[in-house]
A and B are shown apart, each in its own frame.
Chain A
Amino acid sequence: MADKSGAYGSKASDTDFRKTWDKEEYAERAKKKDQEEKERMQENEERMKQGKRPRKGRRDDLPKPTELMKQREGPLELEKNLGKTMVVQNLSGKGPGQPGFHCETCNRTYKDSVGYLDHINSRAHLRALGQTTKLERSTLAQVQARIAYLREKTKEASSAKAFDFKQRLAEVKAKEVALREQRKAVKRIEKEKARLELIKDTGMNEDGDMAQLMGFGGFGSSKK
């Protein structure tokens, strides 16, 4: 082979399946990373002088938290998939669709509920949600209103329960009646069948197959 074309005339060389790297871009990235690291080191040195703890990771440019710490809305349903077999949809090893509990806000997955709970209660997660770690203080009026509301609610619930009980009794009764009706119907059908059988038997004997086939029971001679 004089020219370096392959068996099928392609110009590809043996190693062309390999990924080609954009060296310039990666050099740029490495430089940037070094720069960041250098800045972090300098900052840490400053912090050390002030007697503070050094910063470990990269600094996230999150906006200052504006809200107070809030209770989660709705239950966490940690056990909703308990005992189920799930298909792992995402095999990349990152992001949602992995086995475990995923936090969408922080894009992190935890293998168990304890780790997940610890995370969603953590300062980092709250920060990502834009919440501080301070808690709202309830006023006396709020507490009074809540108790009054719950009082009404439990009253309603208990009366609703009583109502339900009556309704249930009626339902049970209706069901029983329906069941009895059904049994009666079945019995009636059986009786009817037996009667027809009887007719057939007597018909067969006296009038023969023809009369049966023609659909009448004889010529007035057969008694029922």
Chain B
Amino acid sequence: MANTTVIGALAIHGQNPQFLVETVIRNRIYESNYWKEHCFALTAESLIDKAIEMRYIGGVYGNQRPTQFLCLVLKLLQIQPEKEILVEYLRADEFKYLRALAAFYIRMTFRAVDVYELLEPLLKDYGKLRLRDMSGYSLTYMDEFVYSLLTEERVCDIILPRLAKRQVLEENGDIGPRKSRLLDALEEVSVLPGEKAEGGVPFGAVERHRMLDPDMCQGVVRDRGLVQDLLSVHAVVASRPTGWK
């Protein structure tokens, strides 16, 4: 039926996947014209067309109206496409709203290890995204959006399932250490001072000890992924003041 979860869908986090969207918002979506007119009988294939027509991400706006983004998130929860299909969505880098949608769905439904492995590469995507919320439109970037998915509890008016901390997963050996672009960059700096790093940030211009100060970095580097690296490096430095290269 129009609003039921597909038969044979697996429970996500122990419940019907559609319940990941709280009841009030879910009913708003079911009542919305976009849902009834455009989301009816969408498949993983025809959903792509709708996703690339999107012009903004966001939760609810105005009089608690759900965005198309939210409607399509619910649609994905309903039809539960295979993991490979989601990865395929994610790989289509020219369709940024499709990518944002896939990232959001992956964060909501995948295992923590997969979430980190699939979403962390997107911290290098600086594409612009338009965000619509109760206060109107604003500008954000893919890396910022993904960073909020990895660190915040509530994004686009959806309470995200709890995500295990990366550190915990690393300690359990479930996930390898994050391929740090900063460490690579630091090594590069020591070899070739003044050389521009991969991300286009001139590392040579910033002194090493300053770079390890997270507060400084927030101002200097807009790259969320790098900031996260910097923070982790900082922690390592703090705990091991001597003997660290």
Q: Please list the residues of chain A having a beta carbon within 8 angstroms of any beta carbon in chain B.
A: 69-72, 76, 78, 113-114, 117-118, 121-123, 133-138, 140, 142-144, 146-147, 150-151, 154
Contact = CB atoms under 8 A, between A and B. Distances in A.
Q: Is the interface of B mostly helix, strand, loop or mixed?
A: loop
Interface of B: 1-2, 4, 6-7, 33, 36-37, 40-46, 48-49, 52, 79, 81-82, 84-85, 88-89, 92, 94-95
B79 A151 contact: no
A147 B88 contact: yes
A147 B48 contact: yes
Contacts of A134: 7
17 contacts: A71-B40, A71-B46, A72-B41, A113-B33, A123-B1, A133-B1, A134-B7, A137-B6, A137-B43, A138-B45, A140-B82, A140-B84, A142-B44, A147-B48, A147-B95, A150-B49, A150-B95
Contact of A143 (B7, B41, B88): B88
A140 B94 contact: no
Given A117-B37, A121-B2, A147-B48, A138 B43 contact: yes
A71 B92 contact: no
Contacts of B40: 71-72, 121
Contacts of A133: 1, 4
A113 B92 CA distance: 35
Given A143-B48, A150-B52, A136 B43 contact: yes
Nearest to A120: B40
Of B4, B37, B42, B52, which is in contact with the most chain A CB atoms at under 10 Å from its CB?
B37
B68 to A, nearest CB: 15
Contact of B94 (A121, A123, A146, A154): A154
Contacts of B33: 113-114, 117
B225 to A, nearest CB: 25
Given A136-B43, A147-B48, 4 more contacts: A123-B1, A140-B88, A146-B49, A147-B88
